[in-house]
Chain A
C-alpha cells in the first residue's frame, strides 16, 4: 500500500465546504484512493473511492490530481454531524481480503 499523509486536524465552519487533503506521492497505477470516516465511538464508515477521475456521491466529492500524487475530499456543506476522523487509504484491488490499513487520519471539527 502506498503511504498516505494527512494533516492531524482541521477546523471548518458549519455550512462551508470542508476540504481534506491527502498526499500519496508513491501511489502506483493500480492503487485506488479510499476515504472513510469515524465519528466518535462508532465504527468507521465508507465515504468514497476513486482511481483517476474525480468522483461524487451523496456524501462527498473526491478530487484526484492528474499525477495522482494527492487528492482532496470535499464535504460541500459541512454540518456538526460531519465532525469525525477522516482516513485516506491507498490500496490496490488485488483481492486477498479486506486488508485496508488505517493510519491516524485527520480530525475534522465543524463549528458553528
Chain B
C-alpha cells in the first residue's frame, strides 16, 4: 500500500522555469491538497480538491495551478518559478469530508535560483 506518493523528492529550478510536482494516491480518497512549508511558518495550504474536476484555492495560491482530472492524481504546476517559491511541498489526501485523517506524502524540496 503506497499511500501518497510525491515526485520528485528534490528539484532545482532557475527563475522563470516551469515545472510540475506530481502527487498520486492509491487509497481512493476524494480529498487532496497541497501545502508548502517554510522555516518558522508551519504548513500553509496552497490549493485543494474535493473530488475529480473540482479544485479551490487555499491560503497561498498565487503562482501555482492545479487540476484534478482523476481521483488518484493531483499535480501542482509552477508556471514561472520565483525564488520565493523555494520551499518544501507536501501533498495530502483524506477519505471524506471529515477532518480526521490527512495522509501526507514525503515531500518535495524545491529550490529556485
Q: Which A69-105 residues sit within 8 Å CB-CB of chain B?
A: 87, 91, 93, 95-105
Number of A-B contacts (CB under 8 A): 72
Interface segment among A13-21, A43-51, A60-68: the answer is: A43-51
Contact between B99 and A44 (Cβ–Cβ < 8 Å)?
Answer: no
Q: Which B60-113 residues sit within 8 Å CB-CB of chain A?
A: 90, 92-94, 97-107
Q: A41-B107, A101-B45, A101-B59 are contacts. A95–B97 as well, Cβ < 8 Å?
A: yes
Contact between B100 and A104 (Cβ–Cβ < 8 Å)?
Answer: no
How far, in angstroms, from A96 to B42 measured CA to CA in the complex? 21
Q: State which of A32, A41, A46, A96 has its C-beta within 8 Å of the C-beta of B102.
A: A46
Q: State which of B42, B99, B100, B107 has its C-beta within 8 Å of the C-beta of A43.
A: B107
Which residues on A sit within 8 Å (CB–CB) of B44? 101-102
Main secondary structure, interface of B, reads strand
Q: State which of A34, A43, A95, A104 has its C-beta within 8 Å of the C-beta of B90.
A: A43
Q: What residue in chain A is nearest B29 (Cβ atoms)?
A: A98
Q: A101-B45, A102-B42 are contacts. A44–B90 as well, Cβ < 8 Å?
A: yes
Q: Which A1-54 residues sit within 8 Å CB-CB of chain B?
A: 32, 34, 36, 41-46, 49
Q: How far is the CB of A104 from chain B (nearest CB, A)?
A: 5
Contacts from B to A (Cβ < 8 Å)? 4, 31-33, 35, 40-45, 48-50, 56, 58-59, 90, 92-94, 97-107
11 additional A-B residue pairs with CB within 8 Å, beyond A42-B106, A100-B102: A42-B104, A43-B90, A43-B105, A43-B106, A44-B43, A46-B100, A87-B42, A95-B97, A97-B48, A99-B33, A100-B45
Contacts from A to B (Cβ < 8 Å)? 32, 34, 36, 41-46, 49, 87, 91, 93, 95-105
